[in-house]
Structure 1
Amino acid sequence: MITADIPVIDLAGDENAVARQLVAAAEDHGFIYVKNLGTDIPAPAVEEAFTLSKKLFDSPLEEKRKCSIQTNNRGWSGMHTETLDPKHQRVGDFKEAFNFGEFIDGKAQQALPCTINNDEPRFSAFADSCRKLCHKILYLLGLGLDVGEFFSSAHFTTPGASGTILRFLRYPPADSIAHAGDDVRAGAHSDYGSITLLFRLKVQAGLEVLKKDGVTWAPVPVCPPGTETDPSPPILVNIGDLLSYWTNGLFRSTVHRVVFPTDGGGGVAGESSAGPRYSIAFFCHPVGETRLEAVPSERVKNYVSIGEAPDANPYAERKVMTADEHLFMRLKASYGTLYDDNAATPRA
């Protein structure tokens, strides 16, 4: 099977060259591998985060239920709670997740399972590292668009004032649950925010992206060619709907999904769907009150979408709203019942 065509960008390169490469990848692909992170997020920090993830999900069910997800998008969600592609899914996603909102002074602003209370500083430290890397990438995207520190200034600097989420995910082994042939582990969707950092474990299969034809799915290797011996897999960065909207559709918010294995394979040589699948996503959002007026870039101003699939950037049509309003619109589509019961804003 032909894998997804996603560029690998070395963040240790010349700043201006890296900025141009990131903008080109954001425009052409929407997904980007980044490597050579230096001290931003070293390999041991990623390994520790996955160790914490396993400990979190192994918490007793009653502890996790006490932390069930709320309309502020924080907390635990169990199997089938979230439905990322409600138009096509027979049942909700085959996964459980735990969302951490922003930490303030190292403290989570939400209930946590007792099992991980003593690990709160470690979760906070990892979230802080992810935030710093996002700000670095956003700065480089701004540099590549000739708007300088537009993204990395006041739009992302107020602690606790955004819908930013650190999300841990666990998908049960495919052979441990009953599922139909057309079921998926996570439905086809695009992400909600500005950019997402996605961490995966080596050899764990499942992620696919929708190609530009709007029909064909392509698997995304955990380790693209040339990175197999890196200490940890490159981080996947993808553009979210909010940033696509903010750039009038110049940046692609690419649809993706997580699938069950087909014909006993995972689609990528050396990868497998055996055992539980773990991943970690950091969804970076601007301050909730940020007005999403078009980014003041000539490249954004002059962009005209040509030959895209009809729904490639469904939120790019210009209508100024705040970052919180944009996020709430997307959350309601995935957790309709929860948000129908309580029409609060995402950070209420």
Structure 2
Amino acid sequence: MLRTKVLPRCYLSPLVLRGLRGTARWKHSTPVEDAHVGAPFRIPLIDFSAFRTASSPSERRRVADDIVDGFKEVGFIYLTGHGIQPDVIENVYKKSAEFFELPQHIKDQVAWDDPRANRGYVKVGRERVTQSSDAEEIAALRKKAPDAKETMEIGRDWDPVWRNKWPEETDVPGFKDTMLQFFRTCHELHTVVMRSIALGLDLQEDFFEDKIDQQSHNLRLLSYPPIPVRLLSEEGQARAGAHSDYGTLTLLFQDSVGGLEVQNPRTQRFQPAPPIPGTVVVNTGDLLARWSNDTLRSTLHRVVAPSTSKISNTDIPEGMTPARQSIAFFCNPNFDAVIESLPACVSASKPNIYPPVTTEQYIVRRLAETYD
């Protein structure tokens, strides 16, 4: 039996949440914490296998509560027991590296060219992620401090209008098949995590099912080339500038280099989110935050130079950061889904913050703002 509900979970007070953080199920967290101003900042480490293989509704609800509490407090969690095998992830890394090692003129043949399509190769400096929506300000940021990364963007391959841009099979054998299989695998994980979120928000477990089933997602392969450390110490410069993500969730697979930082919503300080072997970093995106009337946080994050110890322990030239790889699966609602605050997350004390918007309207606008 599910526990008796007194109030919808969107109404849990900060005092109750502090009490939840003190219980045993919050004891697993990242080793890096921000204890400034009496506000502990921990990214929860959650064993998702307990939800995937639960033998009782109460067990599923316990994990769902952990996940929702993590997204309320931090906006980020680490998942173990997510069901994606290490060799699958390693093969995606391998094929991603093979693509980025291609000559520049071959990569340019599949260049990104349309924010609605959001497919293809993006060279270093073309994107400048930011929270700004001012075109002139973004252009100035891109000129002064462009993102020091290159990416490959992949969407659903059966879209009736927008087609993926694939390299020739002879250039990267197995690339297309590997990425399409991984796309499906990540969609399946996204679907199950969204079921847990629905439960944790006192919704029917399948509430989001028909709103995310069209797989309007974006698989992003990221390559961060070596860069002088001094450049990343300059004002405004980062491997990827501070930003929030756009959709429901992001599934992030990190290599061992590190550099991801997450902003503590209370102190505004950026704290490292170091790689933990075998985990997937999962964070809330803007549209899920809008759905929940900001009950769930869409937290700012960025990618900077890794720690000094990481740099000093690698075989790279002095003063250079090591190359970094990551894989981000940006989970989105269906493009025609209308995103408006859930009734349970709106009250007299917390009125509705956002007007309704479709997924397509929101994401296409954000992409058009951040790309050159």
Give the TM-score taking structure 1 as reference length: 0.80
Q: Which residue in the other structure is 2:266 paired with?
A: 213
Distance 1:88 1:176, change over 3 A: closer
Of the three residues 286, 301, 307, the one matched with 1:256 is: 301
Would the aligned equivalents of 1:59 and 1:113 in 2 still touch at CA under 8 Å? no
Q: CA deviation at 1:266?
A: 5.3
SS at match of 2:252: strand
Q: CA deviation at 1:304?
A: 5.6
Q: Quote the Cα distance in structure 2 between the aligned partners of 1:100 and 1:30.
A: 25
Q: Quote the Cα distance in structure 1 between the aligned partners of 2:356 and 2:281.
A: 29
Q: Quote the Cα distance in structure 2 between the aligned partners of 1:129 and 1:186.
A: 26
Alignment-mate amino acid for residue 68 of structure 1: A
Distance 1:304 1:251, change over 3 A: farther
Alignment-mate amino acid for residue 20 of structure 1: D
Would the aligned equivalents of 1:250 and 1:303 in 2 still touch at CA under 8 Å? no
Distance 1:143 1:261, change over 3 A: closer
Q: Does 1:167 align with 2:167?
A: no
Q: Quote the Cα distance in structure 2 between the aligned partners of 1:42 and 1:304.
A: 45
Q: Which residue in the other structure is 2:103 paired with?
A: 60
Residues 245-298 of structure 1: per-residue CA shift (max 9 Å, x gap): 111100000000001246x3459x99x9842100000001011110112224x2
Q: CA deviation at 1:302?
A: 3.8
Residues 27-47 of structure 1: per-residue CA shift (max 9 Å, x gap): 11100100012xx31111111
Q: Quote the Cα distance in structure 1 between the aligned partners of 2:246 and 2:369.
A: 11
Q: Which residue in the other structure is 2:68 paired with?
A: 23
* Bigger fraction of residues in helix: 2
Q: Does 1:138 align with 2:194?
A: yes
Q: Quote the Cα distance in structure 1 between the aligned partners of 2:118 and 2:330.
A: 12
Q: CA deviation at 1:332?
A: 2.2
Residues 212-234 of structure 1: per-residue CA shift (max 9 Å, x gap): 235311111112xxxxxxxx431
Aligned length: 306
Would the aligned equivalents of 2:229 and 2:321 in 1 still touch at CA under 8 Å? no
Q: Does 1:112 align with 2:166?
A: yes
Q: CA deviation at 1:134?
A: 0.4
SS at match of 1:198: strand
The 10-residue stretch of structure 1 (133-142 or 110-119) with the greater mean CA deviation from structure 2:
110-119
Alignment-mate amino acid for residue 73 of structure 1: N
Q: CA deviation at 1:179?
A: 5.6
Q: Quote the Cα distance in structure 2 between the aligned partners of 1:55 and 1:241.
A: 32
Q: Quote the Cα distance in structure 2 between the aligned partners of 1:215 and 1:144.
A: 27
Q: Quote the Cα distance in structure 2 between the aligned partners of 1:67 and 1:116.
A: 13
Alignment-mate amino acid for residue 9 of structure 1: I
Alignment-mate amino acid for residue 354 of structure 2: R
Of the three residues 240, 250, 254, the one matched with 1:196 is: 250
Q: Which residue in the other structure is 1:48 paired with?
A: 91
Cα RMSD over matched residues? Answer: 2.8
Structure 2, unaligned runs of 5 or more: 1-30, 34-40, 51-58, 131-137
Distance 1:240 1:303, change over 3 A: farther
Q: What's the % identity of the aligned pairs?
A: 30
Alignment-mate amino acid for residue 366 of structure 2: R
SS at match of 2:246: coil
Q: Does 1:283 align with 2:330?
A: yes
Q: Does 1:320 align with 2:356?
A: yes
Distance 1:78 1:155, change over 3 A: same
Distance 1:143 1:112, change over 3 A: same
Would the aligned equivalents of 2:32 and 2:273 in 1 still touch at CA under 8 Å? no
Instruction: Kindly report which structure 2 residues correspond to 1:295-314, keeping only aligned pairs within 5 A, or say none.
Output: 295-296=342-343, 298=344, 300-302=345-347
SS at match of 2:338: coil
The 10-residue stretch of structure 1 (283-292 or 81-90) with the greater mean CA deviation from structure 2:
81-90
Q: Which residue in the other structure is 2:366 paired with?
A: 330
Would the aligned equivalents of 2:157 and 2:164 in 1 still touch at CA under 8 Å? no
Would the aligned equivalents of 1:245 and 1:318 in 2 still touch at CA under 8 Å? yes
Give the TM-score taking structure 2 as reference length: 0.75
Q: Quote the Cα distance in structure 1 between the aligned partners of 2:284 and 2:32.
A: 22
Q: Quote the Cα distance in structure 2 between the aligned partners of 1:200 and 1:2.
A: 17
